[in-house]
Structure 1
Amino acid sequence: MSGAAVEIGNNACNDSDGTTVRVRVIAPSSMGKPSNLEVFRRFLRDAGMTARVDDSIYRAGADPFYANTDQFRAADLVDALTDSSTVVWCALGGKGASRLIPYLEALPVDRKQRIRDARKTLVGYSDATALHVYLQTVYGWQTVHGTMLEMIAGGTVDRRSVDALVALVTGRSDRVRYQLRLVHADGPKDLRLALAVSKVAGGNLTLVENSLGTSCGFRGDGKIVFLEDVRVQPYSVERSLDHMKLAGVFDGATAVVFGSFSVEEQPAGSCTGVPSSDDNLIDLVFRRFAATLPFPVFRVDGIGHSFVNNPLPLNTEARVVGPARFDDATGTSIYTLTVENVYNTGARSCIRQPAPLDQAAKSAGVGV
């Protein structure tokens, strides 16, 4: 099935102090359920990790929009980025993370150096994209686009996606592999690819676009750009993609991969009176987008705002190869995206060196 994760390798190991991965939970965005904080602790403990989950991250009434005040959330974020934890896991998305960027920018040089040296793994998606983009652009961090703890506590994410994420965070998985569907601008065709080793970067379309014009504006040069979004209209997606093209975001990119898009659909041609054979206007948007680019555009299932929300390491080595096969049901060619795990899972010395991506691409089958 397209979008399914494959865990390769079994790298279970401990940190030098005898414990497993040390997780710091933060709430940089919207307010969750205070009653779930104990659920977070139990989940992380049962997964073999130690966790710091402060009750103070959720403060009802502190702000009408966010989990706490800007000042508290910023201070908590900076502390998490510089303490002894190895993983910083976001409790919830929503809104508000981008308001913390000015606080990070205003840090003294020594604190910025501590963040640079820490090189932890940030886990989250949606609004956390603001932090992914900042930490990757400014500090070169490798992070994981993955489900947040409120979704796990609420049972609103597929357990297999959670297991795949835990395997990455604890270092028991070397890499993930996903099936991609080629977006055809002018009908089905095969495009044989063995792209040079690149890096996946991106996240939520709205947050990536919002970074433009800032000190950490997103750029896709040399990257496989991943984008997903929720509760958007097809025309607004096209408008955002047009803006990003004009801003040079995709200049020099090696590919674009669209993840889950929760779109408020309208019947094709309902507003324009122009007949169309496309029932799904987001497909039309993606095809028109692909027609304007010199590199391939793909879709992947199960990464983003959906019940199946598989993890995707960001700013790590990745490669697209294929086609692996042709799917008669959808009339599309299927390719394989292989993405290496982040640098800092489990004990750094315990993560065995993975096989080269060239070798993995030749020997591995399509993800199941």
Structure 2
Amino acid sequence: MRCSLRKPRALHKGAGIQIVEPSSPFEREALSHGLSLLRDMGLNPLYSERIFQKMGYLAGADVLRAKELVEAFSGDDVYGIIPARGGYGAMRVLEYLEAHRHSIKPHLFMGFSDITALHMFFLVRYGLVTIHGTNAIFMAKLDRESLERTKKALFGIGWEETFLYGGLTPIVKGVARGRVVAGNLSLLCALFGTPYEPPLEGAILVIEEVDEPLYRIDRMLMQISLQRGFGGVRGVCFGDMGVVSDEQEALVSLLEQFAVKWGKPCVFGFPIGHKSRNFPVPEGVMATLDADIGVMRVLECPYEE
């Protein structure tokens, strides 16, 4: 991970925020509520008809989705960028982004789930602080506090409180300090062994997942455990892991097994995931995890000052 980070400017009232779609297709109607919420915040959502393209399980051809991202990040009339949804496909555009990364400007970028691949690209290859947070369509599902924190994260309002996370359940106690690396477990694992693999050394990992059976969660956590550099991880926060209620007890037992094996400060119940509680989390900035009292606090302003 770069020691010197590029940081985006917080958005202002009336700012243009570009809707892109680097992953899966969606129905036009699904986006309407998210657009209304962005407008209610005082932003000006922009998009082209390209985002509605469909090519099987992808939102159009790889080169078109990638070109859309590069154009959004290289433009001067856009201040923020948010994907319509996740799904699958973001990894397929990374090589194109790599070839055009010198055109990228440090715009504010928010998204989650499959968008984890883009967060890791921007952090590892460009040193850009991005925000792990809702996609545009998912905004309609957010609870009140998640939506309010999302607004504050976009506008850079009270970042110390916006990026303070309490009420976490300690698994292994202790205090850790490191740089935040947040994302979807499947995508983090899929990126290992690539030029965009998650930077583990000195990291506080914040992990979420959805629709994966317990044995696959077990396998992916085992993969992380065996990854070169995992010894440098400072702490781990588990968000919502997307299992059915009948498996929740077994999930907690599984996470406890790994946490004890790792011997690092570790908590459960971090407010990210595919349910209504999905707080924004800045990538790459310094934070402390106090697993004695169940609190993570971001220490570093994630915006250009």
TM-score after normalising by structure 2: 0.88
| % identity of equivalent residues | 27
Of 82, 86, 89 in structure 2, the residue corresponding to residue 96 of structure 1 is 89
Of 123, 127, 131 in structure 2, the residue corresponding to residue 140 of structure 1 is 127
SS of equivalent to 1:261 = coil
For residues 209 and 137 of structure 2, the distance between their equivalents in structure 1, rounded to whole angstroms, comes to 18
SS of equivalent to 1:183 = strand
Equivalent residue for 2:59?
67
Correspondences of 1:284-295 after superposition (within 5 Å) = 284-295=253-264
Correspondences of 1:175-324 after superposition (within 5 Å) = 175=160, 176-179=163-166, 180-184=168-172, 191-193=173-175, 195-196=176-177, 198-264=178-244, 280-321=249-290, 323=292
SS of equivalent to 2:165 = strand
Residue 120 of structure 1: how far off its partner (Å): 2.1
Tell me which stretches of 4 or more aligned residues in structure 1 moved more than 6 Å.
none
Would the alpha carbon gap of residues 160 and 33 (structure 1) be closer, same or farther in structure 2, given more than 3 Å must change?
farther
Contact 2:282–2:302 under 8 Å retained in 1: no
Residue 202 of structure 1: how far off its partner (Å): 2.8
Of 127, 136, 140 in structure 2, the residue corresponding to residue 149 of structure 1 is 136
Contact 1:219–1:250 under 8 Å retained in 2: no
For residues 219 and 14 of structure 1, the distance between their equivalents in structure 2, rounded to whole angstroms, comes to 27
SS of equivalent to 1:235 = helix
Would the alpha carbon gap of residues 244 and 321 (structure 1) be closer, same or farther in structure 2, given more than 3 Å must change?
closer
**For the pair shown, which has the larger CA radius of gyration, 1 or 2?**
1
Equivalent residue for 2:42?
48
Residue 14 of structure 1: how far off its partner (Å): 7.1
For residues 67 and 185 of structure 2, the distance between their equivalents in structure 1, rounded to whole angstroms, comes to 27
For residues 227 and 181 of structure 1, the distance between their equivalents in structure 2, rounded to whole angstroms, comes to 14
Q: Deviations over 1:67-110 (max 9, x none)?
A: 222121011011112112222111101111111112122x2xxx
Equivalent residue for 2:5?
none
Residue 57 of structure 1: how far off its partner (Å): 1.0
Would the alpha carbon gap of residues 265 and 171 (structure 1) be closer, same or farther in structure 2, given more than 3 Å must change?
closer
Equivalent residue for 1:353?
none
SS of equivalent to 2:200 = coil
SS of equivalent to 1:251 = helix
Alignment gaps of 5+ in structure 1: 1-12, 185-190, 268-278, 324-333, 350-368
Give the letter aligned to residue 152 of structure 2: A
For residues 14 and 104 of structure 1, the distance between their equivalents in structure 2, rounded to whole angstroms, comes to 24
Would the alpha carbon gap of residues 40 and 222 (structure 1) be closer, same or farther in structure 2, given more than 3 Å must change?
same
Of 2, 22, 31 in structure 1, the residue corresponding to residue 25 of structure 2 is 31
For residues 170 and 33 of structure 2, the distance between their equivalents in structure 1, rounded to whole angstroms, comes to 40
Equivalent residue for 1:331?
none
Contact 2:11–2:156 under 8 Å retained in 1: no
Contact 1:321–1:337 under 8 Å retained in 2: yes
Residue 297 (structure 2) pairs with residue 338 (structure 1): yes
For residues 120 and 14 of structure 2, the distance between their equivalents in structure 1, rounded to whole angstroms, comes to 27
Give the letter aligned to residue 165 of structure 2: Y
Between Structure 1 and Structure 2, how many residues are aligned? Answer: 292
- Identify which range, 301-310 or 119-128, moves more after superposition: 301-310
Would the alpha carbon gap of residues 192 and 135 (structure 1) be closer, same or farther in structure 2, given more than 3 Å must change?
closer
Equivalent residue for 1:87?
80
For residues 133 and 198 of structure 2, the distance between their equivalents in structure 1, rounded to whole angstroms, comes to 19
The root-mean-square deviation of aligned C-alpha atoms, in Å, is: 2.2
Alignment gaps of 5+ in structure 2: 1-9
Q: Deviations over 1:233-271 (max 9, x none)?
A: 22211111111221225221110111001114667xxxx
Higher helix share: 2
